[in-house]
Amino acid sequence: MLKLDGKRILLGVTGGIAAYKAAELVRLLRKSNAQVQVVMTHAATEFITPLTLQTLSGRAVRQDFFDPNDEASIGHIDLARWADLILIAPASADFMARLAHGLANDLLSTLCLATTAPIAVAPAMNQQMWLNPATQANNQQLQARGIKLWGPDAGEQACGEVGPGRMLEPSELLARTAKQFSSQILTGQSVLLTAGPTQEPIDPVRFIGNRSSGKMGFALARALIEAGAKVCLISGPVALTTPAGVTRINVDTAAEMQQKVAEHIDKCHIFIACAAVADYRPQTIATQKIKKNQAEIALTLTRNPDILAEVAARDTPPFTVGFAAETERLTEQAEEKRRLKRVDMIAANLVGAEQGGFEKDENALTVLWEGGSKNLPMARKEKLARSLVATITERYYAEKHPTKDS
């Protein structure tokens, strides 16, 4: 069965007889473990009741900017950010025209303008309406803007005519939704990934650690699996479940992480160092618990190996990606780190700010490489990870491997 574990699908339903099929689509998406938020236009409610779609999706259907009955309902910008994919099914000729012209005169069209998520439309209309040059021009404009056109099918229509304009069947829309999250762009490529913090023992009960939760690294591991890569994840101590398909190796200290990376590095095409490795470790580890019988104690710390720099310095390094968590002068410091460590790419993020960074569910990244950069805006770490994997893949094929199959 197709799995959409936790993916957030914003299903837009517009006015047309095919709206009744949205019920089956919601059911299939939910069965694949997706979260579904239905947003209906007013015309859609003439064809199918919000209650039907609410019951099947398990969420209150949204129609208006603000729901006066629900103070907790999230605002339109948050809803636009919530979505991993906006799927409009069925998409009427009117809605496609409004989307093509960037109108924002109802909730659904506004969400489409405000989102950074991919948008797919599944047109459903009378065949003459579909073939009309106005609809075709809108259609081309939408596709030129990167909006995905799923369908329409040709065949018998509700109005009795035969021709193009039937909405794709819900099972086909489900398959396309699943494919949207499984790009296969890294099929045949092996990725070694470090994640989480390291813990450097002081005595049998204490350690030096940091605030890394491992969320970004684990989200990356999952996005890499979705991209078709073989993923080995070397993780410090975190409270996260391993994404399906990922081989996980647990470590505690930087030295253990270094050793495990050395064991697996030869087999990988891409190395991503997402771990927040402790820069120093106690020079000696007390064999017994240190007692608090002195007013002051001093710890002598020794530098830990820089795992990423070591990998990048190999004779034939894989494509190397590092992270830089900075509290100020983000781009400048990250660029310096990229050059010093001689890595192919650095993903920099601000820590200590109100939004994003360690332990948070959201983050924003500035990705730097030789001669280029890209800003990945604030988003949930799962979504951000998918954008980062797409950026890494693009540079990986461009810089190291001119073709996907080389």
Q: What region, left, alpha or beta, does residue 204 occupy, with left being phi > 0 and alpha being psi -120 to 50 degrees?
A: alpha
* Minimum CB–partner distance for residue 322 and ligand C5P (Å): 3
Position among 83, 185, 227, 275 found at the interface with ligand C5P (CB under 6 A): 275
Residues 173-232 that bind ligand C5P (CB under 6 A): 194
Nearer to ligand C5P by C-beta: 218 or 323?
Answer: 323
Q: Establish whether 159 is a catalytic residue.
A: yes
* Minimum CB–partner distance for residue 131 and ligand C5P (Å): 54
Nearest to 212 by CA among 235, 181, 193, 229: 235
Name the segment binding ligand C5P (CB under 6 A); options: 52-60, 273-281, 382-390, 396-404: 273-281
Active site residue: 112, 159, 232, 268, which one? 159
The one-character DSSP state at 251 is -
DSSP 270-281: EEEE--B--SEE
Q: How many Å apart are CA 76 and CA 78, to the nearest integer?
A: 5
Nearer to ligand C5P by C-beta: 21 or 281?
Answer: 281
| Tokens read off for 238 | 């975190």
Could you tell me if 304 and 277 are in contact, meaning their C-beta atoms sit under 8 angstroms apart?
yes
Report the side by side order of strands in the sheet with 148-149.
35-40, 8-13, 85-91, 119-123, 148-149
Nearer to ligand C5P by C-beta: 131 or 313?
Answer: 313
Question: Interface with ligand C5P includes 277 (CB under 6 A)?
Answer: yes
| Tokens read off for 350 | 């601000």
Q: How many Å apart are CA 159 and CA 42, to the nearest integer?
A: 21
* Minimum CB–partner distance for residue 326 and ligand C5P (Å): 8
Question: Interface with ligand C5P includes 236 (CB under 6 A)?
Answer: no
* Minimum CB–partner distance for residue 245 and ligand C5P (Å): 22
Question: Interface with ligand C5P includes 344 (CB under 6 A)?
Answer: no
Question: Interface with ligand C5P includes 388 (CB under 6 A)?
Answer: no
**Across 227-344, where does the E strand assignment appear?**
230-235, 247-250, 270-273, 280-282, 301-303, 319-326
| Tokens read off for 108 | 């659904």
Could you tell me if 219 and 385 are in contact, meaning their C-beta atoms sit under 8 angstroms apart?
yes
**Degrees to nearest 5, angle at CA 372 with 371 and 375:** 160
Helices (H), 32-132: 50-57, 76-82, 93-100, 107-114, 127-131
Could you tell me if 45 and 63 are in contact, meaning their C-beta atoms sit under 8 angstroms apart?
yes
Query: How much of the chain is helix, strand and coil, in % rounded to 5?
Result: 35, 25, 40
Name the segment binding ligand C5P (CB under 6 A); options: 1-9, 106-114, 235-243, 269-277: 269-277
Nearer to ligand C5P by C-beta: 289 or 314?
Answer: 314
Which residue's structure tokens are 């970004």?
A: 216
Nearer to ligand C5P by C-beta: 42 or 339?
Answer: 339
Residues 33-92 that bind ligand C5P (CB under 6 A): none
Phi, psi for residue 228 in degrees, rounded to 5: 95, 5
Name the segment binding ligand C5P (CB under 6 A); options: 15-23, 86-94, 274-282, 371-379: 274-282
Nearer to ligand C5P by C-beta: 118 or 305?
Answer: 305
SS3 state of residue 313: coil
Cα–Cα distances in angstroms (integers) from residue 352 to residues 154, 326, 360, in the given order: 55, 8, 11
Position among 38, 273, 367, 392 found at the interface with ligand C5P (CB under 6 A): 273
* Minimum CB–partner distance for residue 337 and ligand C5P (Å): 6
Name the segment binding ligand C5P (CB under 6 A); options: 37-45, 224-232, 268-276, 396-404: 268-276
Nearer to ligand C5P by C-beta: 9 or 277?
Answer: 277
Position among 10, 186, 219, 254 found at the interface with ligand C5P (CB under 6 A): 254
Q: For ligand C5P, what does the binding mask look like between residues 288 and 327, x meaning CB under 6 A? A: ----------------xxxxx-------------xxx---
Nearer to ligand C5P by C-beta: 119 or 254?
Answer: 254
Q: How many Å apart are CA 195 and CA 237, to the nearest integer?
A: 9
Total of residues contacting ligand C5P (CB under 6 A)? 16
* Minimum CB–partner distance for residue 392 and ligand C5P (Å): 13
Residues that bind ligand C5P (CB under 6 A): 194, 254, 273-275, 277, 279, 304-308, 322-324, 337
Residues with active-site annotation = 159
